[in-house]
Structure formats: C-alpha cells, structure tokens
Amino acid sequence: MLKYIVKRIVLMIPVVTVMTLIVFSIFYFAPGDPVSRIAGPNVTPEVYESIRRKYGLDQPFIIQYLRFMKSVIEGDLGVSILQERPVIEMIKERLPVTLEIGLLGFLITFLIAIPAGVIAAVKKNTMVDYLCMSGTLLGTAIPTFWLGMLLMYFFAYKLRWFPISGYGTIRHLILPSFAIGLTNAAITARMVRSSMLEVLKQDYVRTARSKGLLEKVVIYRHALKNALIPVITLMGLRLGWIIGGSVALEIIFSIPGIGRLMVDSILARDYPVVQGSMIVLTSSIILANILADILYAIVDPRIRYS
C-alpha cells in the first residue's frame, strides 16, 4: 500500500508543474499592467522602470517563471503588490473559512446522497424512486450560485432564520454549505442508486437473502459496502470541486474566504495573490483526486495490485 501511495504522489509532480505553468502564463500574457496600478497615472518613466525591476517584471518569461517555481517550492508565493504582505499569510487567513464551507457542504452531500440513493434503488420503479430521481434531476440542473440566492431569499430575507451575509458564527455557514451540499448530493445520489442496482443483482446478495437475513442487514451490511466503491471515487473528486466551487457563494454571501480574496485581487490586478490563490485551489483538487485513489485502493485491494 505504501508503494502505491508513493507512486500516486510522484505522479502528482508533473501535474502540479503543468498547473503552475498554466496559471503563470495566464497572468503573464493577460492584458493590463499591475505597475500602473501601483505607480499611478502621472509616474515618470524612471520610477515606472524601478518598480518593474523591484518585482522582477522586467525579466523574460522563462526567467520569471523559474523564479516563481523556485519560490513555490520553497513555500513562498510572493508578496502582494498592493498590500505588500506575503501572499501565503493572506491565504492562511482566508483558507480556513473556505474549508469550513466546503467540508460542511461535503458532509451535507454525504448525509443526503447516500440514504436517497439507497432508498431509490431499493424502491426501484416506485413513486419513491421517481420522486428521488426527480429531485436529483432538479438539483443537477440548478446552478450552485442560483440555489444560494434562493436560499438567501427565503430563509434569510423572508423567514429571517439565518443571517443574510457575513461570517462569524455557524449560522453564517448554513445557507452556503447547503447550497453546495444539495447540488452535489444530486449527482452523488444518482451514482449511489446506479451502483446499488448493480450490486443488488449479485449472487452474494441473493445468497444473503436466502439465509433469512433481515432486509436491512442485506442492504446496509452486504450490499452498501460494495456499492460505495465507485461512489468513493466520485466523492473524492467532488471534495476538491466543492472546495473550489465555493468561490461564487463567498461573493454572494460576503464571506471572507479564499474565493473572495481571489476575486478582489483580480479586480485590483494584484497578480501574485491571484496566482497563489489559484495554485492553492487547484492543488486541493489534485490532492482530493489522490485521496480518492488511495481510498479506492483501501476499499478494493485489487486496485493497488493491478
């Protein structure tokens, strides 16, 4: 198992390298000049060039990228052009907020999708199955940010059960977390149902029933465990996207997470902060993929030997 984990981590290196190259290239060739934002409109050419040299913006592309990669490897994501603070410190302040929303949304996804998928599979072609699948179809079609605005309108503005925006208590996290959790639960529930239907056709399930075991024991102890093998992969992949997908909701609910930091930095053309934020978010997706592969190998030992 250790050999398998090391192999997956080593394979992550070229992926991360390509990802950093893409992120750096986007902002290098993007229109606009951050130096003009710092210096102002009436700066002299001498001052303008000195600022470019200060931040290394006068160097060729490859030199700037190699310096950027060297800093990333050392754990240094640069310094904010506008705030003149280390980017890593700014991200450390905001990342826990994004993780709270993402992980709570992931928990909501798990608590809704597993029971809904199992019930829909057990009650196949019944009204219960049709209702569950109709709900998942609706959840798949609704964009996360629009669902967030609906929840804000009904539960914050109309009913006043939750704060309409801001951050500080668990009540501020409920609506954005449910917006993330519900939309992802729709996709996951359909996967659970499909996987359960395949497992329920297997011989060992019929054997367990023929032994006189209770239906609950057959479903939850024998069938569900094997049905969750492909679902684990999907959940691992969704974990990374859940964390990265909270960006829009942080804007809607005025939550000071890493997504809000990235958007504000884009508007201010503070490119080091945007690059650092994108690297952290994309790395979370890559790490979630690796975690999914490892969990998949733990649940199904045949994977690590294939």
Average pLDDT (23-30) is: 76
Cα dihedral 116, 117, 121, 124 sign: positive
Average pLDDT (229-248) is: 71
176 pLDDT more than 60: yes
To the nearest 10°, report the CA torsion of 264, 66, 287, 258.
-10
Q: Is residue 183 part of a domain?
A: yes
Average pLDDT (258-267) is: 82
Confidence of residue 41 (pLDDT cuts 50, 70, 90): low
The pLDDT mean for the chain works out to: 79
CB of 139 closer than 8 Å to CB of 151:
no
How far is 152 from 146, CA to CA, in rounded Å?
Answer: 10
Encode pLDDT of 108-158 as tens digits: 888 888 888 888 888 888 888 888 888 888 877 788 778 888 888 888 888
Residues 131 and 55 in one domain: no
Residues 69 and 125 in one domain: no
Domain total in the chain? 2
Name the one residue in this structure whose structure tokens are 């504000």. 264
Residues 161 and 262 in one domain: yes
Q: Is residue 89 part of a domain?
A: no
Range(s) of the domain holding residue 19: 2-73
Q: What's the burial of 237, exposed, middle or buried (CB within 10 Å: 0-12/13-18/19+)?
A: middle
Residues 68 and 115 in one domain: no
Which amino acid, residue 176? Answer: P
Residues 158 and 69 in one domain: no
Which amino acid, residue 252? Answer: I
Q: Check which CATH number belongs to the domain holding 198 and give it.
A: 1.10.3720.10
Average pLDDT (261-265) is: 83
Residues 297 and 196 in one domain: yes
Average pLDDT (172-198) is: 84
